[in-house]
């Protein structure tokens, strides 16, 4: 299996500065994460309940799909999503994720494993709303690099050290700048590096504001 071994962007990130100079930013960011997550959970609770009911009524299997991802400093956690695939696709889903690590397209618009309602949930990003609980529990942030699986970092310890210095996010540069069917794993890595090199509170706010029209236009991410 081929994995991404050398990011196209230069890995120039002062890891010490992230821990020391940005402590105020990190504390404020966490406070905002909690406030936003709680607010969005309350406001979207009717939508969450309706979505769960529709999934239960239209397909077999659990309402919530979970998968192990790597969080800050390599901490493993279960990421939550509304299930958008048939339960028989579980094994195929694992193989599909391996294919993603080879640099192929991140999402397939005609993936036969996706249910009818699942396609709508993905296009509108409703499937990712359960990640608000990941944010509330402290495993994720509202804004950050995309949460990845462990095999994603094989043969690239330097990128892993940089990428995992921050919490993964529900939205980020990749989600708002290239929400297309033709975005590759290499593009995502470049955007992750760009975010980490320039992360600050104002950039986080801009990304949140840019996410709103992207979601309303139905440019969902996988």
Domain ranges of the chain: 15-216
> pTM of the entire structure?
0.81
pLDDT in tens, the chain (222 residues): 344 445 555 555 555 555 556 788 989 999 999 999 999 999 999 999 999 999 999 998 999 999 999 999 989 999 999 999 988 654 455 555 555 555 544 555 567 788 989 999 998 899 999 999 999 999 999 999 989 888 877 767 777 778 888 999 999 988 887 655 556 777 788 888 899 988 999 999 999 999 988 787 766 554
Structure confidence at residue 109 (pLDDT): 57
- Residue whose C-alpha is closest to residue 197's, from 15, 4, 37: 15
Instruction: Tell me how far apart the alpha carbons of residues 216 and 125 are, in angstroms, rounded to a whole number.
Output: 9
């Amino acid at each position: 299996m081929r994995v991404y071994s050398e990011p196209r962007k230069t890995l120039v990130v002062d890891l010490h500065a992230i821990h020391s100079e940005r402590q105020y930013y990190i504390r404020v960011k966490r406070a905002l994460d909690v406030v936003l997550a709680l607010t969005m959970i309350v406001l979207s609770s009717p939508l969450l309940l309706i979505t769960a009911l529709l999934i239960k009524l239209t397909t077999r299997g659990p309402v919530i799909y979970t998968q192990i991802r790597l969080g800050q400093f390599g901490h493993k956690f279960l990421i939550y999503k509304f299930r958008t695939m048939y339960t028989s696709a579980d094994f195929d889903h694992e193989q599909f994720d391996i294919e993603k690590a080879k640099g192929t397209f991140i999402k397939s618009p005609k993936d036969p494993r996706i249910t009818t309602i699942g396609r709508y949930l993905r296009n509108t990003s409703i499937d990712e709303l359960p990640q608000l609980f990941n944010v509330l529990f402290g495993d994720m942030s509202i804004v950050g690099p995309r949460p990845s699986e462990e095999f994603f970092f094989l043969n690239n310890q330097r990128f892993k050290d940089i990428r995992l210095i921050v919490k993964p996010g529900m939205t980020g540069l990749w989600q708002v700048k290239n929400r297309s069917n033709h975005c590759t794993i290499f593009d995502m890595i470049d955007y992750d590096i760009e975010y980490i090199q320039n992360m600050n509170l104002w950039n986080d706010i801009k990304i949140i504001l840019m996410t709103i029209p992207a979601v309303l236009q139905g440019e969902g991410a996988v």
